[in-house]
Amino acid sequence: MGKETVFANLIREHQGLLFKVTSIYTNNKEDQEDLFQEVVYQLWKYFDTFRNESKISTWMYRVAMNTAITQLKKSKKNSNSVPITDVILNRTETKNDVLEERLKLLYQQIQYLNPLEKGLMLLLLEGKSYKEMAEITGLSESNVGTKISRIKTKLKKNMTK
């Protein structure tokens, strides 16, 4: 199987991961599609550098998050108006109104976090371990734990106002 086929299969297999990352860092569908394309380009550009020292999904998360954060820094747009609630809540299969309202409030508060904090919350909500988060972000495991704890405290404080 050729390199292009392997790469296309990986993108297809992990497009949900890429969609989540690009959605949390953009303000609208057009920007999300542009960022998605940029992430795929960066993944292709660095595909030969993947050394199988971690899971392919970990490497893809890292490239996607770094690309998204770089694009945010280049952009003059306000990064605090990300419509993550639409992305996540439209995919929720629950009919529990109380749970949906709490999730909506949580995702509204996540919008106000800085780019690294948003990424960490995305990874936490994806069920990633601190070790995986450390590999993806380049932080130490203990630093990830500290940051997650501070983010949770900040979110809890903001949600109980």
**Fold of the domain built from segment(s) 3-159:** Butyryl-CoA Dehydrogenase, subunit A; domain 3 (1.20.140)
pLDDT tens-place values along the chain, 161 residues long = 888 999 999 999 999 999 988 888 887 889 899 999 999 999 999 999 888 888 899 999 999 999 988 888 777 444 444 455 444 444 444 457 777 787 778 878 888 889 899 999 989 988 899 999 999 889 999 999 999 999 999 988 888 87
The pLDDT of residue 94: 44
The pLDDT, as a whole number, for residue 95 is 56
User: What is the model's pLDDT at position 139?
Assistant: 92
Q: Scanning the structure block, which residue is given the tokens 């809540």?
A: 89
Is residue 47 within 8 A of residue 7, CB to CB? The reply is yes
**CB neighbours (10 Å) of residue 121?**
22
Give the pLDDT of residue 28: 84
DSSP secondary structure string for all residues of 11-26: HHHTHHHHHHHHHHT-
Supply the pLDDT for residue 82.
45
Q: Could you state, in order of their start, the residue ranges of all structural domains in the chain? A: 3-159
